[in-house]
Structure 1
C-alpha cells in the first residue's frame, strides 16, 4: 500500500489542477493521496469529482504558522472544513497572501526586475497567490534559472531584498483549531534547514504536549541522518512519523510517491480523526 500525505495543486502553488493531481497519483501507483494545499480547501471538490477508481483521497491542508519569528507549516488532515473558527483563521492567512505577493512584486520592480503584478496573477490563475508564482514570473523574465533560485537573500528568500512577512498562525493555536475541528496535525518538514531557521527540538516537545499528532520524517529536504534523528524524536515523544513527497507539479523536482507513509501510521491518522473521513470512489 503506497500512501503520500503531502501534495499541492494549482489551488495553491502547485501546477496541476486537483483533477490532474489525483489522476497522476493513480498513474504513479498510489493507493492513498492527501491534497494539502496551503491555507485552503478549495481544490477538494474537484479532486473528489475526478477521483479514479481504487484511489483514496485524504482531504487536508497545510497551514502557515510562526513561532518566535520562525516560520513553520502544520499539515492538517480529515478536519471538518466548515468549522467556523478554523475557517475564519485559515481564510485570514490565505487572503493575506495577495497583499504579500503584491508587495514583493513591487519591491522586485523597484530593484529593476522586469515583471508585472498582472503577470503574477495570470500565473497563479484561480489558486491562492504565493511566492512561487512571483518566482515563476522571475524565471520567465530570465532573472533566475529556476523557482528555487528566487528563494535566496538576493531576492525573495526569508530576509531577502524583496521579502515581505506574511500573516501566520501561532502553531499552538493551529493545533487547537485543527483538533477542535476533528482533525489530525502533523508538523511538516520540521528540519528542512534549506528553507531557513528551524524550531529547536524543545519546541517540538512543547507542540507534542499541546496535542501535535505527528512529524513529517521522510521528505526530500531531509537527508538520511536527519530522518534518523527525526524518527528517534518521534519515538521519544510518542508522535506519528509520516513520509510524503510535498509534490508541487512542475514547480519542484520531487515526484508523487517519492516518499510515503507506513500503512499502520495512516490507519492511526484515520482512527484519530472525527471531522471527516477519507474519500474513495
Structure 2
C-alpha cells in the first residue's frame, strides 16, 4: 500500500489541477493521496469528483502557514471539518493576506531591478492561492533565475531574502488547538528542512507534542539520512506519529508523487484519530 500525505494542486501553488493530481496519483501507483494545499480547501470538491472509476482514496487536508518565535513553519492538517467556524475564519485571515504580501514582494523585486509585474504573477497563479512559487515562476519566465528553487535564496525570496515579505500566519499552538477542535489531525511538515531557513528547535516541538500535535513528517526529500534518523528518534521519544510524503507540486518542482510515503499502520492511526472527516473513496 503506497500512501503520500502531502501534495499540492493549482488551488494553491501546484501545477496540476485537483483532477489531474488524482489521475497522476493513480498513474504513480498510489493507493492513498492527501491534498494539502496552502491554507485552502478549494480543491477538495474537484479532487473528490475525480475519484470516480479509480481505486484511489483521498485524504482531504490543508497545509497551514505558521510562525513561532519568528521562525516560519508549516502544519499539515488532515480530515478536519472544513465548516468549523473558528478554523475557517483563521484560514481566511491567512489566505486574504497572500495578495498584499505578493504585491509587496513584487515591489521589492522591482526595486532590485527585476521587471516582474502583478499581472504576470496573477496569470501564473490563476484561481490558486497566490504564493512565492508563483513569483518564482515569473522570475524563471523572465530569465532571472534558471529554476523555481533558485529563487528561494537569500538573494531573492528565501525567508531572509532581499525580496521577502512576512505574512499573517497561525501560531502553531493555536493551529493545533483549532484543528483538534475541528476533529482533525496535525503533522509538522518538513521540520528539518534547513535549506528553507531557520528550523524550529526540538524544545518547541516537544511543547507542540504536549499541546496535542499528532506527528512529524520525517521522510521528506528535504531531509537527508541523518536528519530522518534524528527526527524518527524524536518522534519516538515524544510519542508522535512519523509520516513520509512527497510534497509534490507538479512541474513546479522535480519531486515525483510517492517520492516518500507513509506506512499503512501510521495512516490507519491518522484516520482513526480524526472525527471531522474521513478518507474518501470513489463516490
Fold equivalence (TM over 0.5): yes
Using the TM superposition, give the Cα deviation of residue 156 of structure 1 relative to its aligned residue in structure 2, in angstroms: 1.4
Is 1:8 matched up with 2:1? no
Is 1:111 matched up with 2:112? yes
Paired with 1:159 and 1:99, the residues of 2 have a C-alpha distance of 19
Match of 1:246 in 2: 247
SS of match in other structure, 2:82:
coil
Greater displacement, 39-48 / 105-114? 105-114
Paired with 1:161 and 1:197, the residues of 2 have a C-alpha distance of 16
Match of 2:33 in 1: 33
Cα deviation per residue 1:4-45 (whole Å; 9 max; x = unaligned)?
Answer: 000000000000000000100001000000000000100000
Q: Which runs of 5+ in 1 are unaligned?
A: none
Cα deviation per residue 1:206-254 (whole Å; 9 max; x = unaligned)?
Answer: 0000000000000000001111111110110000000000000011111
TM-score scaled to structure 1, two decimals?
0.99
Match of 2:155 in 1: 154
Does the 8 Å contact 2:160/2:197 carry over to 1?
no
SS of match in other structure, 2:218:
strand
Cα deviation per residue 1:147-175 (whole Å; 9 max; x = unaligned)?
Answer: 11111111111121111011101000000
What are the residue-to-residue correspondences of 1:223-242 with 2, within 5 Å? 223-242=224-243
Match of 1:88 in 2: 89
Cα deviation per residue 1:58-92 (whole Å; 9 max; x = unaligned)?
Answer: 00000000001000000000000000000000111
Does the 8 Å contact 2:75/2:189 carry over to 1?
yes
Match of 2:20 in 1: 20
Is 1:97 matched up with 2:98? yes
Number of residue pairs the alignment of both structures matches: 281
What are the residue-to-residue correspondences of 1:122-271 with 2, within 5 Å? 122-271=123-272
Is 1:50 matched up with 2:38? no
SS of match in other structure, 1:275:
coil
SS of match in other structure, 2:267:
helix
Paired with 2:110 and 2:225, the residues of 1 have a C-alpha distance of 40
Paired with 1:32 and 1:8, the residues of 2 have a C-alpha distance of 14
Paired with 1:228 and 1:238, the residues of 2 have a C-alpha distance of 15
SS of match in other structure, 2:7:
coil
Paired with 2:69 and 2:202, the residues of 1 have a C-alpha distance of 14
Match of 2:61 in 1: 60
Paired with 1:105 and 1:207, the residues of 2 have a C-alpha distance of 34
SS of match in other structure, 1:217:
strand
Question: CA RMSD for the aligned pairs?
Answer: 0.6
SS of match in other structure, 1:175:
helix
Using the TM superposition, give the Cα deviation of residue 114 of structure 1 relative to its aligned residue in structure 2, in angstroms: 1.5
